[in-house]
Structure 1
Amino acid sequence: MRKALVSVAGPAVALGVVFATGGPAWAATVTQVPVASTGFFGGFLGVDAVSPFDGWAVGGNGNGMIQRFNGTRWSTFPSPDLQGGDPNNWADLSGVDATSASSAVAVGNSTAAGAVKSAVALRWNGTAWSRQAVPKPAGTDTEFSAVKAFSASDAWAVGQTASSNSTFRKTLAMHYNGTAWSAVPTPSAGTRTNFLTAVDGVTSTDVWAVGYSLNLPYGNRVRQSTILHWDGTAWAQVPSPDNGSTFLYDVAALSATDAWAVGVGTSGAAFVVRWNGTSWNTVAAPPLVNLRGVTARSATDVWVAGAAADSTGTPALAHWNGTTWSVTPVTVNGGAGIPSLSAITAADATTEWAVGSQSDGTTGQSSSIAFRVVG
């Protein structure tokens, strides 16, 4: 994601910095910020901001979750019922993007008790969130994972779709023109599963979507990275590197000749690829695992969110200064269970937000966590 929020309060988190081999010392200060409790199944999946003191975070609690930052803390914000009045249904929100204080889009999914999944889109008009109509052909299920808004009348949401009676899943991209959402054809190279997990772009005619694919036979577990590009006319697949079984989870675009995508390769190792205007190429990755988020201000100022590459697997952030990576572990104060980061985004020249969840493997309960990062 391209933006984040700035907090002015919250308990300090213990700090620690591990510097990548070579390169100057560089440190970040991480502050955990209060988050409203949302029930049994919480956890932030996406975050965005319109100013240092106003922004949105979304996640899942069975009926979708929206929280708003007011400059001090995160608080639950009223949002439409996505369960359709049936407590046996399930819903979550996975992505949010704001273009102004009066315009934002959030996307996710609602699943009926019969396990039929429907993509969901919500619209913020400066006063309230409302649910938008999302096309869903009969006999299919659809799923949104991420959204990128260029204006109140130009946004993309990506994910996957399939016939309800089929195990073959295809990439999905829908465009919002200010009036309605409509599906736009996308390539699906995998013969079994195709999934777009993130979308970003510099302009409405230069948009990237990333994810992964999986080929038959059903015993095959090797994922292939997927990168698609929108040039204003059509989506096309662009060759992308792999590192064993590879998932791409996020993408950040800086210009027509510079973009970053991150994910995981063999055994969950950090995987980073970069666009140079001609091709995507593997670049040095930080000593982390399970990269889930990336945000970039410039070619010498890139952040990623993941976990420590040791037995603890604690959340960690890494910063690229144009020469080397430096790593800052993130310590969670309070709560029980295993914490993880799901997204990171830049607020201004020196501030980022990282969000995620803390899951209890015994009870299944999870809660949202958020951190202000300054460095």
Structure 2
Amino acid sequence: MALGAIVLAGCPDDPGTPPGEGPPAWRVLLDEGDLDRAVLSIWGTGPDDVFAVGGPLGNTGLESLALHHDGATWRELPAGGEETFWWVAGSGPNDVWMVGERGRAAHWDGNVFTRHETGTVATLWGVVAFAPDDAWAVGGTPGAGEDAEKDIVLHWDGSAWSREDLPQETGRALYKVWGESSDDLYAVGEFGVIWHRAGSTWELQSDPPIAQGTLFTVAGCSREEVYAVGGRDVLRSDGEAWGRIDVELTNDVNGVACGRPGEVAIVGYGGLKQRLVDGAWIDEFTEEPYADLHAVWADGEGAFWAVGGDFLSQPTPGRARKGVVARYGKGQIADTVSR
């Protein structure tokens, strides 16, 4: 029965429909048959230049995971190390940052990786880049004691990463950072914390708190349409104030991304996938993949890409973790990894 389901899932929606011309749908591109590590973030400059990252999450014996899709094939990049990457972003195909455990920040220039010192051993959970000399990363150690590193905001100036102090310490790990420029930047994290950087000034926008729990991801469609999500919270800012969105969630949400005008996607645990289209939320929870999803990204041509897998279980040395990469859109995409 299971084998039959896999075979059917790989068949065209309609035998008479040419490949690439069927209706858009969610399709699993890579799964545990192709991946032995969780996939936690996906980003690219377009559908023919996509990066997906993750790692073993403490399952020793496996390396950091960095994949690249060129429009025809998936290839694993030689990232080295054992740290798990939690996020990937860049300003172009030859300026890509991957950040993660133990303060790791690796830069891909299109040919080789370069490891850069960040001045922290705490996990860097998020990164955004605007130019080769302008990138931001955030992090911290969640749920730890008073001596643990929190409130981590780092800036890359083209030469080195340096710490940027916030106006006040909240004692919270920061999970993601997003903006359209360094003059209009958002960072979110533990206990619903929201920071906004306007010009060179940081403002705490979550006092009193708006979210009921931790915010895991922030992303925007424009300066007047910014989303922050986590748990059962889906928040939106119009550039002036934050408010809660009334959406019936089928599970906890982890990731959010903006697509074409009027389109937003959120993903989360148990295969949560919901898309906002012209003001209405479409729930695709019953469609594959059914795995826990951590992040989603829009490729600029109408498709959403989602990643996840086994990123919750405790580390077990030598054991592979299930990973998944899926896509909502038209057409067929490569579903094997070249190593």
**TM-score for both structures, normalised by structure 2:** 0.80
Aligned residues: 302
User: Counterpart of 2:192 in 1: which secondary structure?
Assistant: strand
Name the structure 2 match of 1:239.
206
1:262–1:76 distance in 2 versus 1, CA, 3 Å: same
Q: CA deviation at 1:359?
A: 6.8
Alignment of 1:134 onto 2:118:
yes
Q: Summarize the Cα distance change of 1:374–1:80 in structure 2 as closer, same or farther, 3 Å threshold.
A: same
Q: Is there any run of 5+ residues in structure 2 with no aligned partner, and where? A: 1-7, 14-22, 331-339
| Equivalent position to 1:350, from 295, 298, 302 | 302
Q: Give me the whole-angstrom Cα distance separating, in 2, the residues matched to 1:341 and 1:11.
A: 19
Q: CA deviation at 1:148?
A: 0.3
> Partners of 1:124 and 1:371 in 2: how far apart?
23
**AA of the residue aligned to 2:152:** L
Residue 183 of structure 2 is aligned with which of 202, 205, 212?
205
CA contact (8 A) 1:79 1:129 kept: yes
CA contact (8 A) 1:59 1:94 kept: yes
Q: Which has the higher strand share?
A: 1
CA distance 1:14–1:184, change in 2 (3 Å): farther
Q: Which amino acid aligns with 2:117?
A: A
The residue number in structure 1 matching 2:152 is: 172
Aligned to 2:277: 321
Percent identity at matched positions?
Answer: 24
Q: Is the 8 A contact 2:251 2:272 kept in 1?
A: no
* CA spacing shift, 1:129–1:361, aligned 2, 3 Å: closer
Note the C-alpha offset of 1:288: 2.2
Residues 108-149 of structure 1 show CA distances to partners (whole Å, capped at 9, x for unaligned) of 11xxxxxxxx3010011121111112123xxxx422001001
Please name the residue that 2:327 is paired with. Answer: 372
Q: Which residue of 2 aligns with 1:87?
A: none
Structure 1 counterpart of 2:174: 196
Alpha carbons 2:55, 2:65 under 8 Å: kept: yes
Could you tell me which residue of structure 2 aligns to residue 160 of structure 1?
A: 140
The CA RMSD over aligned residues, in Å, is: 2.9
Q: For residue 215 of structure 1, what is the aligned residue in structure 2?
A: none
Which digits, 9 at most, give the CA deviation of each residue in 1:207-231, with x for residues without a partner?
A: 111112xxxxxxxxxxx31101112
Q: 1:292 pairs with 224, 239, 254, which one?
A: 254
Distance 1:167 1:299, change over 3 A: farther
**Residues 1-375 of structure 1: matches in 2 within 5 Å?**
12=10, 28-34=24-30, 37=34, 39=36, 42-61=37-56, 62=58, 63-81=63-81, 83=82, 91-109=83-101, 118-136=102-120, 141-160=121-140, 166-167=146-147, 169-186=149-166, 190=170, 193-212=171-190, 224-239=191-206, 241-242=209-210, 244=212, 246-264=213-231, 270-297=232-259, 300-307=262-269, 314-329=270-285, 330-332=287-289, 339-358=291-310, 365-374=320-329
Q: What secondary structure sits across from 2:79 in the alignment?
A: coil
Cα 1:187–1:342 shift into 2, 3 Å = farther
Kept in 1: contact 2:260–2:300 (CA 8 A): no
Amino acid at match of 1:102: N
> How much has 1:187 moved relative to structure 2?
5.0
Contact 1:66 1:79 in 2 (8 A): yes
Q: Greater share of helix residues, 1 or 2?
A: 2
Pair 283,14 (structure 1): closer, same or farther in 2 beyond 3 Å: farther
Task: Structure 1 unaligned segments of length 5 or more: list them.
Answer: 1-9, 16-26, 84-90, 110-117, 213-223, 265-269, 308-313, 333-337
Contact kept? 1:14, 1:331, Cα under 8 Å? no
